[in-house]
Amino acid sequence: MSNDTNNIIDCLIIGAGPAGLGASLYAGRSGLNIRIIEKLSPGGQAIVTDWIDNYLGFKDGISGFELIENMKAHALRFAPSVENGEVIAIRKEEGIFSVELSDRTFIATRTIIIATGARPRKLNVPGEEELTGKGVSYCATCDGPFFRDQTIAVVGGGDSACQEALFLTNFAKKIYLIHRRDELRAVKTLQDKVLNNEKIEMIWNATVEEIKGDAEVTGCILKDTKTGELRELKVGGVFIFIGIIPNTEFIRRLIKTDDLGFIITDDWMETSLEGLFAAGDCRAKNLRQVITAVSDGAIAAYGAKHRLI
């Protein structure tokens, strides 16, 4: 690690989804010397969300893409451009963090905000991996248009499964929504829309045991959770929305997380390691929304500023 204090920045923000962009706006605007690192392109999961109906201030809703474009432009009024890079390790020595990137370069920083978000959980059943991109998908916005006039399956019972099933009705002629229980987890408004949509048929108390197909998906094997009975459902695509896994593997040994790897923070968004903050979907919390991610980012930036005083 370099001891050249001229090269030590105030705050490194890792991830440029809503949490990272929120942190960038607040940290940049408060005068901190910051850098923002993003593994893919800015936006996180929100950018592949067709429509966001509950971000305050947009009373008619807004597309995820447009909201992220606005957030980027706003953050960049105060923050430097987002740099491409993947963080693989973090160490702390004598109060300074040394952050290692996959290209073997290092960044020295006094504080860090982790805003790396989460990725879709997989079913881990036969056929899923082999048929990903050939009918198995985790992104309705990306792949929905390929399923025009087809019969498809959506797996899951939470907000994502319901919201994405509704979006897919723009393309598919019929959608089976497969849920492992007899009650949806999603918020009531989404449940009502799903249950009243003529194109969506619920398959309750069923799990997907296998996804069938060769060059592309032709169906899936369902198991009735009550009787154990197996049957094949003919579908041309399977969209999987069964929850998320936090992108925290690179940091789990250094700080406290819950059993699923979500980072535990205090009210300042500070982790168990002083100067290291977390914001957004990678954090252990009750409500994962764009609005709470942005809020986490603002609080984390405020916390980082406070640590530097």
CB nearer to ligand NAP: give 159 or 270: 159
Task: Name the catalytic one among 10, 60, 103, 143.
Answer: 143
- Binding marks (x or -) toward ligand NAP, 178..197, rule CB under 6 A? --xx---x------------
Confirm or reject binding of residue 33 to ligand NAP (CB under 6 A): no
Confirm or reject binding of residue 64 to ligand NAP (CB under 6 A): no
**Nearest approach, Cβ of 286 to ligand NAP (angstroms)?**
8
Confirm or reject binding of residue 261 to ligand NAP (CB under 6 A): no
Reply yes or no on whether 224 is catalytic.
no
Contact present, 91 and 101 (Cβ < 8 Å): no
Confirm or reject binding of residue 242 to ligand NAP (CB under 6 A): yes
Please enumerate in sequence order all residues whose Cβ is within 8 A of that of 126, keeping only pairs 6 or more positions apart, or say none: 209, 210, 211
Please enumerate in sequence order all residues whose Cβ is within 8 A of that of 297, keeping only pairs 6 or more positions apart, or say none: 18, 19, 20, 21, 22, 23, 24, 25, 26, 113, 115, 279, 280
CB atoms within 10 A of CB 2: 12
Contact present, 13 and 39 (Cβ < 8 Å): no
Token representation of residue 164: 């994405």
Residue count at the site for ligand NAP (CB under 6 A)?
A: 20
Confirm or reject binding of residue 243 to ligand NAP (CB under 6 A): yes
**Nearest approach, Cβ of 88 to ligand NAP (angstroms)?**
26
- Please select the residue that binds ligand NAP; options are 37, 97, 288, 294, rule is CB under 6 A: 288
- Residue 151's DSSP bridge partners are 174
Contact present, 223 and 207 (Cβ < 8 Å): yes
Reply yes or no on whether 282 is catalytic.
no
Nearest residue to 82 (alpha-carbon basis) of 93, 94, 68, 96: 68
| Residues forming the active site | 139, 142-143
Return residues touching ligand NAP (CB under 6 A): 54, 123, 155-161, 163, 180-181, 185, 207, 241-244, 288-289
